[in-house]
Structure 1
């Protein structure tokens, strides 16, 4: 071996070690591990920031006070709503860190859309935030695109994510990635059929799948347990990225079983949403407003204070200890 060849080999080894040493969330089987290698069980709520941009301080403060360890932040890339720029996202991340909350960021503009273009627009948004996000792999999770692919179909959903996951990795984003399943997040069959294939496109193996449990995915005990078990049987992590009881005329969602069975199976969850659901979907509100003196609704009390709720099952991420 020549000196030049040896030098190049050593440089390559150093680069590989540096890449492997990036601190952040990782995956071990069906478990999510934090940057200290400890299992991290997501317990939190979503906050619809992009529609209530002036409420961020009160919302983060009250969500932390409720005992959450994670907050899922709704952002816009400008496709449907006013874009959340770099400065605003930086402020959000600072607030989350000061309140010991893991920030799960998601782009909402692709909701229900099947086009690859809308998914690519979400990816381009993450690339724009690249310099802000790199270095925060231990406290920021990227939910690539909320409920992209509204159709109840596995192939199109899988094909889309097989393209964009490598793009995010090639851009240097090594964060834990969350992928909502097809059918507005309510078609877990896509995970059962193609989740493993999608997961394998992530060379860092740091991808988690998300089911949104509403009237099509969580109406009774059998459905809830079956969907969670079948997802876990793929050998890759799953979370309940959203859940809540819909409009009165929709089929009832068994929130108690979602919370008890996810606790039994060590599955993370985020309830939708802290407040601000309009008109006939106000039943989804967990509180009556964003401020620090918030009051919980009936469903909010169930999700925050019940036996399997946030206060009794949430543990702050070890990186903040």
Structure 2
């Protein structure tokens, strides 16, 4: 917020004195933030570097557990997605993804014209899971692979940590999230940052919802996006709409970073999630392409990583009403160097 002084000096001498006092103070002021070179948040919307509004339409892919399935990215693109959220690991809970590996993932996303949301999964359920790590530790991981991310701000969004609190001590989410964001900014990260909700991502206690404004304000770049995961807690259209509407009304940027059509904790209303996201122009990323453990295999979008074997969930997400094929629009950064008459490009803009 900018404040303007309305006092007017009565004489030129008074003006000179005033300026003499102000100039040293102005010299001590912090330099203005440089204009973002990539994604940025403005008035609650996620914008590309070009200024175009960007709405995520995509899926999650468990890269860290299936590093040999890098061709999955081309299959996800072929199904019409404009974004992929990629599971990485810090090495604390699962084998670490190196800077070289992260750089390769980013390169493959760019080659396949996908915006890349990268997340550290080792934070999952902190407080409930003894092996889970803190958001501060996740920030340390990002700093360790910074070389793979610098200069990729137009293509990459950094999702600091997956579901960073379970249900224990979840009120600590607010302070810990602010600190992690500031740690990354102090380390020179200029990317749009994404932060997941506590309560295993579902925010049933509304900690993220009720503190999002203060978290956003704590980011010196004002470039943070919030992510809620919608499973059994969001089992009715009224719950879905109320949650999403509140963020939009507050002009706070939100995406549905994970959701499914079924879950052990209840039956999410996927039709309501898809409809509300389309109505409000909010991004969504379905969980997940393939490779889920046997107890949640119903969340696989394709069977055994085969893009020709969509499951019922896959058919719903990709081809159903308000699904990816009907609503996804490729990021404009990928068409900046080609003409709009290119038929391959025009086919990708729905």
State the TM-score, normalized to the length of structure 1. Answer: 0.91
* CA distance in structure 2 between the aligned counterparts of 1:200 and 1:285, rounded to whole angstroms: 37
Alignment of 1:1-150 (within 5 A): 16=32, 19-57=33-71, 59-114=72-127, 118-150=134-166
- 1:204 corresponds to which residue? 221
The DSSP-based 3-state class of the residue aligned with 2:123 is: coil
**Aligned 8 A contact 2:100 2:148 in 1:** no
Matched, 1:294 2:308: yes
Aligned length: 309
Which structure is higher in RCO with an 8 Å CA cutoff and minimum separation 6?
1
1:152 to 1:232, Cα distance in 2 relative to 1, 3 A: farther
Offset at 1:127?
Answer: 0.3
1:231 to 1:22, Cα distance in 2 relative to 1, 3 A: closer
**Aligned 8 A contact 2:90 2:96 in 1:** yes
The DSSP-based 3-state class of the residue aligned with 2:304 is: coil
Out of 273, 286, 301, the residue aligned to residue 271 of structure 1 is 286
Out of 285, 294, 297, the residue aligned to residue 300 of structure 2 is 285
- 1:183 corresponds to which residue? 199
State the TM-score, normalized to the length of structure 2. Answer: 0.83
- 1:220 corresponds to which residue? 236
Higher Cα radius of gyration = 2
Matched, 1:158 2:174: yes
The DSSP-based 3-state class of the residue aligned with 2:163 is: coil
* CA distance in structure 2 between the aligned counterparts of 1:43 and 1:198, rounded to whole angstroms: 25
* CA distance in structure 2 between the aligned counterparts of 1:163 and 1:251, rounded to whole angstroms: 33
* CA distance in structure 1 between the aligned counterparts of 2:198 and 2:248, rounded to whole angstroms: 17
**Aligned 8 A contact 1:239 1:267 in 2:** yes
- 1:242 corresponds to which residue? 258
Structure 1 residues not aligned, in runs of 5+: none
**Aligned 8 A contact 2:92 2:133 in 1:** no
CA deviation string 1:84-109 (max 9, x = no partner) = 11111111111100010000000000
Matched, 1:308 2:308: no
**Aligned 8 A contact 2:136 2:179 in 1:** no
Q: Output the aligned Cα RMSD.
A: 2.2
* CA distance in structure 1 between the aligned counterparts of 2:299 and 2:170, rounded to whole angstroms: 28
